[in-house]
Amino acid sequence: MNAATKAPGASGRPPSSVLFVCTLNAFRSPMAEALLKRLHGERVFVDSCGIRPGESIDPFVVEVLRELGVDASGHVPKALFELADPTSFDLIVTLSPEAHHHAMELTRTSALDVEYWPTMDPTAVTGSREQRLAAYRIMRDDLFRRLKERFPPRPAAGV
């Protein structure tokens, strides 16, 4: 059964490795990667890539993540083809239609779970700097909510 048909968080524990894939690995997937690392630290191996690599991480992503105390400034975009073995992950989460198409093609002969999380493209929003930042915050908050639902943080020991 493909994970896209399972209830989010159905297993009660996160997979040991998650790959986030979007189009350029410049805003959606690096944001999801950084936020899942914040939730689970080293308990889950997390990476991200794009179908094509962007030139650099979007500065608005860095800014809105910094608001949560997350530093993504060192992220270097990479492409799916640059990964040694993308099918070695327990789960691939795609964040754009193009990424989902590529992931489904990549995994069509494997038992690897792929989930599609349609995620807005904040770069499509125009207007003032504050209006654009607001769009990135909406994307961040939506991703963070979905991540917490799908990969609930474990309570601290002894709690």
Q: Which domains does the chain have, with CATH numbers?
A: 15-150 (3.40.50.2300)
If pLDDT is split at 50, 70 and 90, which confidence band does 12 have?
A: low
Phi, psi of 31 (to 5 degrees): -65, -45
pLDDT in tens, 128-139: 999 999 999 999
pLDDT at site 53: 86
Continuous H helices in the chain: 28-40, 59-66, 97-106, 129-150
If pLDDT is split at 50, 70 and 90, which confidence band does 13 have?
A: low
- For 88, the token pair is 């070695």
Continuous H helices in 73-128: 97-106
Residue 28 has pLDDT above 80, yes or no: yes
pLDDT in tens, 71-83: 999 999 999 999 9
- What does pTM read for this prediction? 0.89
